[in-house]
Amino acid sequence: MTDDRPMVRAEGVCKSFGSHQVLRGIDLKVQPREVMCIIGPSGSGKSTFLRCINHLDKVSAGRLYVDGELVGYREHGGKLHELRESEVARRRRDIGMVFQRFNLFPHRTAAENVMEAPMAVRGDSRADARQQATELLTRVGLGDKLDSYPSALSGGQQQRVAIARALAMRPKLMLFDEPTSALDPELVGDVLAVMRQLAEEGMTMVVVTHEMGFAREVGDSLVFMDEGVVVETGKPRDVITNPAHQRTQTFLSKVL
Amino acid sequence: MSTAVDQGADRAESITAVPVRHPGRWVASLVLLVLAAMLVKALLTNPRFNWPLVGQYLFSAPVLQGLRNTLILTALAMATGIVGGLVLAVMRLSANPILSYVAAGYIWFFRGTPVITQLVFWFNLGLLFPTLGLGIPFGPEFVTFTTNTLITPFAACLLGLGLNEAAYMAEIVRSGINSVDTGQAEAAGALGMSRSQTLRRIVLPQAMRVIIPPTGNETISMLKTTSLVVVIGYFELQTAVQSIFSKNYQPAPLLIVAALWYLVLTSVLSVGQMYLERHYGRGTTRPGDDTGRGGFGGFGGRLWRTRTGDGR
3-state secondary structure chain A: CCCCCCCEEEEEEEEEECCEEEEEEEEEEECCCCEEEEECCCCCCHHHHHHHHCCCCCCCEEEEEECCEECCEEEECCEEEECCHHHHHHHHCCEEEECCCCCCCCCCCHHHHHHHHHHHHHCCCHHHHHHHHHHHHHHCCCCCCCCCCHHHCCHHHHHHHHHHHHHCCCCCEEEEECCCCCCCHHHHHHHHHHHHHHHHCCCEEEEECCCHHHHHHHCCEEEEEECCEEEEEECHHHHHHCCCCHHHHHHHHHHC
Mean per-residue pLDDT for B281-306? 48
Of A85, A151, A169, the CB nearest to B191: A169
How many angstroms separate the CA atoms of B82 and B172, rounded?
A: 10
Position with higher pLDDT, B231 vs A29: A29
Beta-carbon separation of B191 and A56 below 8 A? no
Per-residue pLDDT band at B310 (split at 50, 70, 90): very low
Which pLDDT score, from 0 to 100, does residue A75 have? 87
| All residues at 6 or more sequence positions from A92 whose CB lies less than 8 Å from its CB, including other chains | A54, A55, B189, B190, B191, B192
Per-residue pLDDT band at B287 (split at 50, 70, 90): very low
| Mean pLDDT for chain A overall | 94
Residue A212 has pLDDT above 90, yes or no: yes
Which pLDDT score, from 0 to 100, does residue B14 have? 86
**Per residue in B33-68, pLDDT tens?**
999 999 999 988 988 888 999 999 999 999 999 999
**Per residue in B157-216, pLDDT tens?**
999 999 999 999 999 999 999 999 999 999 999 999 999 999 999 999 999 999 999 999
Beta-carbon separation of A107 and B284 below 8 A? yes
| All residues at 6 or more sequence positions from B244 whose CB lies less than 8 Å from its CB, including other chains | B57, B60, B62, B63, B254
**Per residue in A54-96, pLDDT tens?**
999 999 999 999 999 999 999 888 899 999 999 999 999 999 9
Which residue in chain A is spatially nearest to B209 when comparing CA positions? A107
How many angstroms separate the CA atoms of A249 and A235, rounded?
A: 15
The reply to whether B301 touches chain A by the CB within 8 Å rule is: no
Which pLDDT score, from 0 to 100, does residue B262 have? 95
Which pLDDT score, from 0 to 100, does residue B141 have? 82
Give the three-state DSSP class for B235: coil
C-beta neighbour count of A168 within 10 angstroms:
26
Q: Which residues of A touch B187 (CB under 8 A)?
A: 97, 99, 103-105, 162
Per-residue pLDDT band at B149 (split at 50, 70, 90): confident
Of A85, A97, A151, the CB nearest to B195: A85
pTM of the predicted structure, to 2 decimals: 0.81
With a pLDDT cut of 70, the percent of chain A lying above it is 99
Give the single-character DSSP code of B7.
Answer: H
* Exposure on the CB side of residue B246, measured as CA atoms within 13 A: 6
Tell me how many degrees the CA angle B78-B83-B89 measures, rounded to the nearest 5: 115
Give burial (CB, 10 Å; 0-12/13-18/19+) of B275.
Answer: exposed
Residue B312 has pLDDT above 80, yes or no: no
Beta-carbon separation of A56 and B186 below 8 A? yes
Mean per-residue pLDDT for B15-30? 91
Can you tell me the ipTM of this complex?
A: 0.92
Which pLDDT score, from 0 to 100, does residue A245 have? 93
